[in-house]
Every structure is written in C-alpha cells, then in structure tokens.
Structure 1
C-alpha cells in the first residue's frame, strides 16, 4: 500500500470504507459479469466455510480495493470483478463494506479475478502505479491473479513467487490449482441460469465440480421424489390398516363384544 503525504492531498486523517467512493462511474462491461460472479461465489461457499469454521472471510464482487491515497480517491483503487479475502470479519462495525480499504484492513486478498471483455491488455498492463497487473503484483501483492477472457473462453492464472507473478500451467484436467484454497479453477461449458456458455468455475482438489445450491437440489431431486413416493405409500398402507381395524371393531360391537376388552 502506498500513501502520499497527507499534507499534499489536504487530508487530515485516513478515510475508511464509509468515506471513500464505492464506484468510479463506469458501466459493467457485459451481461455475463454479474451471473459469473454469483456462480463463483455460490459454488465456493461450502469450501470456504470448511476453511473458516468461524466465518471469518469476505468476498468482493466488482468492489473497490483501496491501496493508496490519491485525489480524486478512486484513482487509488482497483475494482476486481471477483476477489476473496481470508481471515477477516464479514462486516465492519455491523456494516457491510462499501469497499475494501487496505490501510484499514491490512490483510490482502488471496485471489483476484478479472473478467476481460476486450483483449485483456488492461488486465495485463504492467505499467508502474497505473497498470492492473503491476498493482496486484507489486502494490497489493495478491497471491493468485486470474484473467478470464470471455471471447476466448480462456483463463490465465498467475501465482506470486518471490515478489513476481509466475504464470501457472494447467493440470491434466485443464484446471489451475489454487493451492491455498484447496480448489482448482477452470472453464466449464454448460447452462447456468438461462444461458448456455463457457463459465469460469471451481473444482475440488479431486477434480469434482463444485455445485451451486440450485444444482445440488436438482441432483437430489430424483432421490427426494423417491423418498416422497415411499412416504406416500407408507401413509396409504397405514390408512388402509386403520380402516381395516375400524371395520373389525365395528363388527365386534355388532356381535356384542367390546373391542377394548378383547
């Protein structure tokens, strides 16, 4: 994190997430970004809850990470399309974060993902201070950085080693191992929501696709249906037995026999 001289900026204290802009006024690049972020978040929650039994983690989606003080303030931030920060409280003082402020938090994101609608040149920009690649590598020092190009349905993943990013090689499944999370990242071709397309997704360390809540329900649907049918059959059998017992009791009463004394 870099902080310019406060006197030069006319700042008398370090602003927190409630005092900094939560948007730079730019549009989302395409309609896939929003569902793509939700897909990543929904499917990885189970893994993160295993890692963080105390629920101390947060996920940002198109939220600013402030790493230096500038004027205007938003020039000192990068807004990844998706990122995960371990070992931090999900809220601050009972409030949802409006942005992630490094001089307030201190813990850097473990992984940052950018969804490139263009040729990825902005996401690979290594220009000191202003380039995204440089900021994630040299300033914020994010351990894993992924660049997903929608047009190519391709993902590049970089790992910070000795202060520099090294591009990872895909494993035999075509996935990239995010070792500190115990997961793999790759491209999945299929339907999510109402759209069939290539999607950026997670797998576990054994190569099993991490499912969303809805996908889990769909997978369990046949089993649940069988259990429901079994329950209905048992209920029907119980009702038949009750009716049979009622007829028997009525017959005994007709014969002058109290069924309660039999």
Structure 2
C-alpha cells in the first residue's frame, strides 16, 4: 500500500515503526502485533525512523501510557476513552476490558488510512476531524460515564493559543474528565531540525512546557496530578540512559507524561 503523508501527518509513522521494531526484537517490552501487520502492508522506507533515541522514547511513553490507561480502566471498566491525534495508535487492543468505548480522532486523511488497516467495531470508533474542530465533541456519547482523554505526540505540534483552545474545548464538553498527555520541554521543541527522526519529515515542533504543573495556567479548572519522566522507563537500557537520567539538567528536558484532571 503506497501512502502520501506530509508534515505532521507523516510523523504518525514514527511511533508505528518503533512499536513494530520493538515487537520484533529479542526481548520486547511491548507486544504490538497490529503495528507489525500495518508496517508490513505499507510501502514506505521505515528504516529512516530506526533511530535508537527516538525509538526508546516512543517505547517508554507507550509503556507509561499503557500502564496508566490500564489502571484507569481497571477502576472504571466502562470508561469512555478519547485518543486525540490518534495517528495509527493501537492502544485499545493492548488494554484488557472490552466494555471500554474508544474514540480515535485525527485528520480525515489519517482516519481514511486507519480504515484501510484497522477495522472499527462496536467498541472502537473513528472520527475524521481536526483536534481543533469543535464539532468532534458532538460525535461522542458519554452518558454519565467517566472520560479519559489521551494526547500522545500531539501538543508539541501546536502553538500555545491552539493548546489553550483545545483544553478550553475539552473543559466545555467533558468538564470532569481525566487527561493523560505527553509534553515536551521548550528547549527540545526548538530543536526540530536536530531531532533524529523528525528531521526526516517536514514537521516542526511549535510548543513546549517545562512541567506538568505549569499546564494549570492553560485553562481554568485544570489541575495537575502527577507526571512521569520518560527516563523512568529507560534505566535498564544502558549506561548512557542511566547517567543522563540522573543529571538534572538533562533529565528535566526529557519528555514527560502528565496526568491532569478538569474540575
């Protein structure tokens, strides 16, 4: 299958490739059979994304988000999960409990590609709209269920006004939700051209924040709960990661997964 993706949309292939590479490795930390299947069906030079730093970061964030999503689902089995900027994410298939209603949101072109590779079912729904298109909120049926919103590899491609706009949209439509989001430090956001995989695309990082706590200023009612540095999952990946993870100047600039609640 030949595909034509440009700019930010092309970056969805980076985590897909990382999950497939990891699944096929000798001692995989995650198993994503669907990622392997999708990579095998797409005619594309995935080798340019086979870079250690980026691959390790993707797997670290995947492990954290899988774990925290599973914890939330364990507590609220009939939760509504909303993956904004889903790309070719396959988290639903790694989560146990089939009562979950899962909504994947991305550009129409991305959702069209998803539909060629992954099927919707009674629990998994696709919405082909921009994250900033306020109408996608009307396509989600929540009743009185708990809502978990996941934003992975997304906000760094937005401007700060767009980030604020998105959080205000979420607050207006899902006022008591829980949010798991990946954040990038402003220093790293300024280094798109040096990034080991992003430099192979036309995408550019546009926003970063120093901490999850700092995100509270984005939207009234947004409260910081906890954050996890990706280095926390990389301690066993070699001396370089162990040393870097213990140097505050380096550690503080690594990506983090942040848990927030809207109240």
Structure 1 or 2: more helix by fraction = 2
Please give the TM-score of this superposition, normalised by the length of structure 2: 0.36
Flag the structure with larger Rg. 1
Structure 1 or 2: more strand by fraction = 1
Structure ranking higher on relative contact order (CA contacts 8 Å, 6+ apart)? 2
